[in-house]
Structure 1
């Protein structure tokens, strides 16, 4: 990936893997992320997008938010960009207000604005659990 890429948000960690991640992933959650994998723009033929897959929705993947945003604005039937993140550790909330420390890789699509202040550090999860009165359970 060219080192000259600039973005208001983190750039995808591996340009060679953009577009290679599974289309079906988790959606939202976890509170923290470890890596940005790609920015996705989902296109819906039933909303005027080009029909490339017999009427099925599809996405185009990009290294930067700005590339994804430009594509979204210029493409009929396109949604606003989402970001695919990898979580090596995250917060699971099995019921409202009950939080658990979860370890193990999880891929999930997030709204781009959720990236702000959500990059996991060694103290992110313990601090979160302490603030919310939850024990530091690992699952």
Structure 2
């Protein structure tokens, strides 16, 4: 059993766009893939004519093992899909957004699990009452 959720569709791992949003949103709906970014200037194998690149994995443990075994690589990040999230355009201003947002996150942000019904509304209400 994996420590974190596995990719929702393993067949699509490695097929998502390179560029995505970064962080934010507070909640996630699905894990799409785990990414390990590699940097040839830091001695990673040169797979892309000197450019940075990533390797994608469906499970965190595989990404972590690759990261630990590959010089010049970063710790794994996770690519997530958000169908609902919180936009915080300025400190303390919380806006409940709906749609689709793809973002790279730090893996530890997955610890609370996927978003549950009513969770965003409760989070915003608690923040307003704090």
Normalising to structure 2: TM-score of the pair? 0.96
- Would the aligned equivalents of 1:40 and 1:59 in 2 still touch at CA under 8 Å? yes
Structure 1 stretches (4+) deviating beyond 6 angstroms? Answer: none
Count of aligned pairs = 129
2:37 maps to 42
- Select the residue among 86, 107, 126 that pairs with 2:81: 86
Q: Matches of residues 68-79 of structure 1 in structure 2 within 5 Å?
A: 68-79=63-74
2:107 maps to 112
Query: 1:98 aligned to 2:93?
Result: yes
1:127 maps to 122
Normalising to structure 1: TM-score of the pair? 0.90
> 1:118 Cα deviation (Å)?
4.4
Secondary structure of the corresponding residue to residue 33 of structure 1: coil
1:81-133 residue CA offsets vs partner (Å, 9 max, x unmatched): 00100000000000011000011100001111100114111111100110111
Inter-partner Cα distance in structure 2 for 1:71 and 1:118: 24
- Would the aligned equivalents of 1:18 and 1:62 in 2 still touch at CA under 8 Å? yes
Flag structure 2 segments of 5+ consecutive residues without an equivalent: none
